[in-house]
Structure 1
Amino acid sequence: MKTKPNKVLFLVPDGVGVRNYLYSDVIEHLKDSTTICVWSALPKVAFDAVEQWHGIAIDYQFLALQKQGIRSKIATESATYARLLRNAQLVNNPTILSNWNDSSANWKQYLQKRITKSMGFWASKKYSRILWLEKVSMNSWNDTAVTRLEQRLEALQPDTVFITHQRVAGLMPVCIAAQRQNIKVVSAIYSWDNLPKARLAVQADFYLVWSNYMKNEMQLYYPEILPEKSVVTGTPQFEFYSQKNRIISREAFAARYNLDASKKWLCFSGDDTITSPNDDLYLKDIAESIQATSLSASVQVIFRRSPADFSNRYDVVLSDYPTLIKAIDPFWKNFGTGWGSNFPQLEDVTLLVNLAFHCELVLNVGSTMAHDFAIYDKPCCYFKYNHAASPHWNVETIYNFQHFRTMKNLDAVVWITAKETLAKQLEVVLLRPNAVAIERKVWLQTIVQHPLEASSSSIASVLIPSKLVLA
């Protein structure tokens, strides 16, 4: 067998990296000239479908995420708090501070929080102090663990290390080991909302961002990172919608998921219980509003829960409306007890594509699914009213998050501001979908680089050693 000239090591800390990068055409652009290696805390079986889909053999090794020592962790969290304070002031947006978790399970955690907040407040007054804390954190990782990772990298000899998720601090020792070996490290920025939230937990040589908007954010929040180190590539998660071979007929989709093909389908996409604790109540509002009008004879609601939501909060409303609401759960498998051991099956990509293609619209609370549907020019309805059930949660806070400033003055979504107007607004959207949220594609173009289908090739060109080299 001919030896391939390139070798790329994918660090995959969770299942989203499998979906967004390993199922995507990034592998197609690499596989003929590149050996694909994977280090992950997920089991090898999580990557079997990747091998089958792309017709490759992955060089897989289990990677136990390193536990951060107390000195390193305090420095990291202090720097994070300092960045949140600084970022909130930079853009005059106090909602950024909501990304700080102040809860403590015991007195040790309480004391640690007090220390990190005090140090973070001190560091926020001078940017060089933040950089100093991050250097302390980096230098405080267990050197024995880093040395072992160096030895593994030396044995593997990858040209590039690619991190699919920049928010996992346990990957920093791999970055340190790679830097010692002079191996190029590239990290994707996980999502369009991450940079203001001070969630850059790894240090890489290059960072992949979705758009020029995000590149500008990188310069604002991380001025120490040179502009040429932040590369606009788009994101492959939207490429799947241009792959027509993934679309099945309406009749086949209806038969597969027990849907009524004669009715119009509305999608309600849930979020996790922390981001949107009242999603079950919004779903109930949809059902009650439809049942009270003539819409009940012509529409059906498809409910997709968040893959990160393992709660039973929807059980009652699904039981009460078995004909109107059809739940199609995400095709994810879990080999543990939490989100970190959860990973998608390839069928879930096909499900998402067909939901956006066959449904008339999507409803949710501030979800990125608005962009998935916009690709097929389908409108999104955002709920923008509160339920009394959660006095400590306010939907207005969601839409004041920094990333929603990208749609300032744009008519990009339909705002559902009261349950009483929900049915009427649905009627209008169904009757005249092109007369509402008319700038949804303009918003999409702001959020992610176009053409969407060029993302994988752009990413592959960064990962190939000859394209972007270390200074």
Structure 2
Amino acid sequence: MKRIGIVITDGVGYRNFVMSDFLVEISKKYDEVNIYSGIPAKCYNDSLIPENIKVFDLKQYKETKKVWFYRKLKEVAHMFLHRTSYGINSNLERGYPVSNSNRSLIIKLVYKITSFFHSEKIIQFYEKLQFNAFKNDKTYIEYKNILADHKPNQLFFTHQRPPYLAPFLAAAKELKIETSAFIFSWDNLASKGRMLGSFDGYLVWSKLMQKEMSVYYPYTDKNKIKVVGTPQFEPYVLDRYTITKQEFLEKFKLDSNKKIICYSCADAGIGKNDEIHIRAVLSYLKNRSDIQLLIRTSPAEDGKRFESLKNEFPEIVWNFPKWFLSREDHAEAWSQRLPSVEDVKDLKAILLYTDLNVNMLSTMSLDFMLFDKPVVNTVFGNNENGLYNDQKFLNYIHYKYVVSSKAVTIAKNEVELHQFIQEAIEQPSLRKQERKQLLDLEIGAPLPGTSERIVKALKELA
């Protein structure tokens, strides 16, 4: 019997691995497939789940003080080791406490220890201490019993970072179950902290990411790092998520005679300048009666922060992503927001039928480039002008590739924004070749057949 467990941690993982063709493809190749879910099993759309796949709720794990301390040692040591990466160093500096509360003093101790002891070998030792500290925990024991009962040959984590899944990984290791993880996003290696643990194998987007794995996780067997692309874009080539342009225009009450600019917002935490950017777009549109503005807010929030802007400018068309909160009693509430089929259709239609995208250095740049649409990135803030410093993200390694590719234009003020919007409207194909080259670098395989490649890679890892 070929059995595999799939660990889905959050709403984005649900979109990537449930709303793509992944479950259909994996159900063909394995006798039993169990989903171990960090979101309530009752929220899964039955029409998307093949018959031989079962969904099980994962009990929420709460760290003990000892586990938390060892995890912090591991994570901070990783950041010290790789602090030459601007993004990692930025997170390292931001994480140092300014207060002297009991917790802050412990974190300062962690920083002190790891500033001296942060080799890869030491990091592996911190992880061993962390995983050994699970042994008498009730949730860990429950996880171990579940896996012992289900007997999967493999356990595939669709996200490599959430620390609350570490005891599930530890239980799999204890039972000698083969483990693998998908690197969740294009910035997760060069800009984020340590993974939740060490896996036997990894699935990555591209050859670029494959090289990064060898840098940030040097103990990894290179033959166990498989390039598969990413399922987050696969719905764009699936007919079931396509609506006609007329349906799109009617749904959002858009004028068929006008071009459409889509401004896609960042998450509230890093999108503090969103309103400033939007007002700058609106100032350009004052003299352009032939262009309309559609704004899509982040699925991770409800969009309430834009209420005053919405009232002030009734001409703006808004798309608030139709993601619903599956539960409220969770330490990371944003992770419990689930996408609807309707929202995937809405997003694909926006990518298909709008003429230009403006965003603050987000993955949405890739989404729009997949449909060969020009992209302008807005970063108005720096350390001198009093705005939230979004220009710092230009120094993150993953976005340096974007900037150097010249596939997008970077607007650091309103004047530049107006100039680049004008360029994109008048010459939409100007950066066509650069967009293609960047997509080839960042997404290492064609969108059609992504799920089949993932399943094939998992079989090879076994």
TM-superposition CA deviations, 1:125-161 (whole Å, max 9, x none): x332222212212222243433322211122222221
Q: Does 1:11 align with 2:13?
A: no
User: 1:207–1:56: structure 2 CA closer, same or farther, 3 Å change rule?
Assistant: same
Q: Contact 2:19–2:235 (CA<8 Å) still a contact in 1?
A: no
How much does 1:41 deviate? 2.9
Q: SS state of the match for residue 275, structure 1?
A: coil
* Segment of structure 1 superposing worse, 239-248 or 189-198: 239-248
User: 1:33–1:119: structure 2 CA closer, same or farther, 3 Å change rule?
Assistant: same
How much does 1:104 deviate? 7.2
Q: Does 1:219 align with 2:219?
A: no
Q: SS state of the match for residue 195, structure 1?
A: coil
Q: Does 1:416 align with 2:408?
A: no
User: 1:95–1:468: structure 2 CA closer, same or farther, 3 Å change rule?
Assistant: closer
2:245 aligned partner: 250
Q: SS state of the match for residue 143, structure 1?
A: coil
Q: Distance in 1 between matches of 2:303 and 2:384?
A: 17
Matches within 5 A, 1:168-247: 168-196=162-190, 197-247=192-242
Counterpart amino acid of residue 355 in structure 2: E
Q: Distance in 1 between matches of 2:122 and 2:209?
A: 24
Q: SS state of the match for residue 262, structure 2?
A: strand
User: 1:56–1:105: structure 2 CA closer, same or farther, 3 Å change rule?
Assistant: farther
User: 1:450–1:304: structure 2 CA closer, same or farther, 3 Å change rule?
Assistant: same
Q: Distance in 2 between matches of 1:284 and 1:372?
A: 23
1:335 aligned partner: 326
TM-superposition CA deviations, 1:249-273 (whole Å, max 9, x none): 1111111222222211111111112
Aligned length: 453
How much does 1:388 deviate? 9.2
Q: SS state of the match for residue 386, structure 2?
A: coil
Q: SS state of the match for residue 313, structure 1?
A: helix
2:126 aligned partner: 133
How much does 1:436 deviate? 3.6
Q: Does 1:28 align with 2:24?
A: yes
Q: Contact 1:8–1:463 (CA<8 Å) still a contact in 2?
A: no
Relative to the length of structure 2, the TM-score reads: 0.92
Report the RMSD for the aligned CA atoms in angstroms.
2.2
How much does 1:405 deviate? 2.6
User: 1:437–1:82: structure 2 CA closer, same or farther, 3 Å change rule?
Assistant: farther
User: 1:104–1:166: structure 2 CA closer, same or farther, 3 Å change rule?
Assistant: farther
* Segment of structure 1 superposing worse, 51-60 or 9-18: 51-60
Q: Does 1:143 align with 2:157?
A: no
Q: Does 1:442 align with 2:437?
A: yes
Structure 1 regions of 5+ residues with no counterpart?
A: none
Q: Contact 1:172–1:203 (CA<8 Å) still a contact in 2?
A: no
Q: SS state of the match for residue 405, structure 2?
A: coil
1:429 aligned partner: 424
2:86 aligned partner: 94
Q: Distance in 1 between matches of 2:385 and 2:59?
A: 38
TM-superposition CA deviations, 1:91-132 (whole Å, max 9, x none): xx43422223335788122122112211221223x3322222
Q: Contact 1:265–1:300 (CA<8 Å) still a contact in 2?
A: yes
2:304 aligned partner: 312
TM-superposition CA deviations, 1:437-471 (whole Å, max 9, x none): 6401211111111222232111112334xx322xx
How much does 1:180 deviate? 2.3
User: 1:339–1:76: structure 2 CA closer, same or farther, 3 Å change rule?
Assistant: same
1:79 maps to which of 71, 74, 83? 74
Matches within 5 A, 1:296-375: 297-310=289-302, 312-323=304-315, 325-337=316-328, 338-375=333-370
Q: Distance in 2 between matches of 1:333 and 1:227?
A: 39
How much does 1:7 deviate? 2.8
Q: Distance in 2 between matches of 1:65 and 1:335?
A: 14
User: 1:157–1:95: structure 2 CA closer, same or farther, 3 Å change rule?
Assistant: closer
Q: SS state of the match for residue 269, structure 2?
A: coil
Q: SS state of the match for residue 265, structure 1?
A: strand
How much does 1:425 deviate? 2.5
Q: Distance in 1 between matches of 2:437 and 2:294?
A: 27
Q: Contact 1:280–1:313 (CA<8 Å) still a contact in 2?
A: no
1:41 aligned partner: 38
* Segment of structure 1 superposing worse, 151-160 or 205-214: 151-160
